[in-house]
Every structure is written in C-alpha cells, then in structure tokens.
Amino acid sequence: MPHSLQIGGFTPLTTIDFPGELAAVVFCQGCPWRCRYCHNSHLIPVCGVKSLAWEEILQFLERRRGLLDAVVFSGGEPTLQKGLQQSLQQVRALGFKTGLHTAGPWPERLAALLPYLDWVGMDLKATVRDYPRITGVPRSGERAWQSAQRLLDAGMACEFRVTVHPMLLNEQQLDDLKQQALLAGIENLQVQPCITNGCLNSH
Ligand code: SF4
C-alpha cells in the first residue's frame, strides 16, 4: 500500500529554494529535532493543524508542466516520510527536477533517496559536539555529519548552509564548524544569519 505524504504547506513558485531553477516547494510535516531557532515550528509535530493532499499538489503540477523547472521537498524534515521516494518518482515522471532540504537526521534514508534527487540543500548546524545544544537531541551531530558525508561520497549536487543564532553559535564555534567542514571536503558552506523574531525559542 503506498504511503501518502503528510504536507503542512505549499509554495507554488519560488526562485530561491533550488539554485537557478523556478521551483514549487512542498513543506513536509514532522521533524525529529527541536532546534531553538526553528522558523517552521508548526511543522515539527508529525500531525499538523493544516494538511494538504498530495494528490491535489500533483494535479497542480500537471498544470504547471513547462512553466516550472523543479519541485523541492522541504519541512519539517522530509526524510521522515515513508512516501517521499514515491513522491519524488512521481514528480520526475511529470518532467520536473527534484530537490530536497534536509537536516540529515537519517543518513541511510538520505542515501537511499539520492538516486531520485537532482539537488540537496543541507543544514549543517554545528560541530558534532555542539549539535545537541541546538537540536535538543543527543547524537544528532553524528547523524547530520554522516548524512553530509553520504552526499559528498555520492558526488551529489548540493549546498551546505549554517544558520547562525547569536546565542547558539558564537564566533569560535562557527570557526570550529568551518574547520570541520573544510576537513570533510566542504568548501561552499553558506553562512546565513538567524532571524530570531518568530522562531521556536527566540533566546
Ligand atoms: S531540523 Fe529544521 S525543521 Fe527540524 S526543528 Fe530544526 S530547524 Fe526546525
């Protein structure tokens, strides 16, 4: 029996979520982590308040063939969802490229999805040691860095980015992260400031 996606939001057109492509973004419901700077905290529970049907989004995409380049699965954490692989296949069958935004909590799941993806944007939040302070979850750092390694080993087209919350990542910790990223072979770490207004825990 196919698994359907739990969807908490949908953006029909964006130019910033898949580099160089016109994309729609599907916001998947649910995340195993609790980052204090999370801006999509309504997407953290596995069951959301607002729910959209995947079939409706597929119908929308049918009508956008030739007008959109790609569909990005964001969240929440899309790799939480058992139906993601099938959804990626459906999107590709319609002629769109596929993108994923992930924090990398499940390296094996991510690796299994790579054949169905054209691009991945991955959050690297800190060094392995500093992760639990940000995500609230023990061993989250090991998992995220293993996921990053999977992307690198596969030669995947991807972008790594870090969100800097001033209370969660100081200058030294950011330098340590950049150093660990370089040692892992990541040369394009994008640093983005955190807008603390409206996040899960603003201090
Ligand atoms: S991993 Fe992303 S979606 Fe999950 S809590 Fe952290 S910032 Fe929010």
Question: What domains sit in the chain, N to C, each tagged with a CATH number?
Answer: 7-193 (3.20.20.70)
81 pLDDT band (50/70/90 cuts)?
A: very high
Residue to probe by mutation, ligand 1, list 28, 29, 33, most atoms within 8 Å of CB: 33
3-class SS of residue 138: coil
| DSSP β-ladder status, 23-28 and 7-14 | antiparallel
- 118-147: average pLDDT: 96
Q: How far is the CA of 34 from the centre of ligand 1 (A)?
A: 6
The one-character DSSP state at 189 is P
Is the pLDDT score of 170 beyond 70? yes
Q: What is the pLDDT of residue 198?
A: 59
Closest atom of ligand 1 to 134 CA is 6
Which residue, among 23, 127, 144, has the nearest Cα to 74 in the 3D structure? 23
Give the whole-angstrom CA distance, residue 177 versus residue 180: 5
Residues 42, 43, 45, CA angle at the centre, nearest 5°? 90
Q: How far is the CA of 63 from the centre of ligand 1 (A)?
A: 31
3-class SS of residue 3: coil
Closest atom of ligand 1 to 37 CA is 7
H or E stretch including 132? helix 131-135
Q: How far is the CA of 129 from the centre of ligand 1 (A)?
A: 18
Structure tokens at 84: 């993601």
Q: Give nearest CA residue, ligand 1 atom 6.
A: 35
β-bridge partners, 101: 121
Tens-place pLDDT, residues 135-163: 999 999 999 999 999 999 999 999 999 99
What is the overall mean pLDDT for the chain? 92
Question: Is the pTM value of this prediction over 0.75?
Answer: yes
Q: How far is the CA of 66 from the centre of ligand 1 (A)?
A: 32
Residue to probe by mutation, ligand 1, list 27, 41, 46, 77, most atoms within 8 Å of CB: 77
- 2-8: average pLDDT: 81
Closest atom of ligand 1 to 43 CA is 3
Is the pLDDT score of 29 beyond 80? yes
φ and ψ at 82, to 5 degrees? -65, -25
Which residues approach ligand 1 with their CB closer than 6 A? Answer: 31, 33-35, 38, 40, 44, 75-77, 103
Q: What is the pLDDT of residue 47?
A: 83
Is the pLDDT score of 3 beyond 70? no
Give the whole-angstrom CA distance, residue 115 versus residue 89: 10
Contact partners, residue 33, CB within 8 Å, separation at least 6: 77, 103, 105, 135, 136, 137, 140
Q: What is the pLDDT of residue 202?
A: 55
Is the pLDDT score of 203 beyond 60? no
Q: Give nearest CA residue, ligand 1 atom 8.
A: 38
Q: How far is the CA of 40 from the centre of ligand 1 (A)?
A: 7
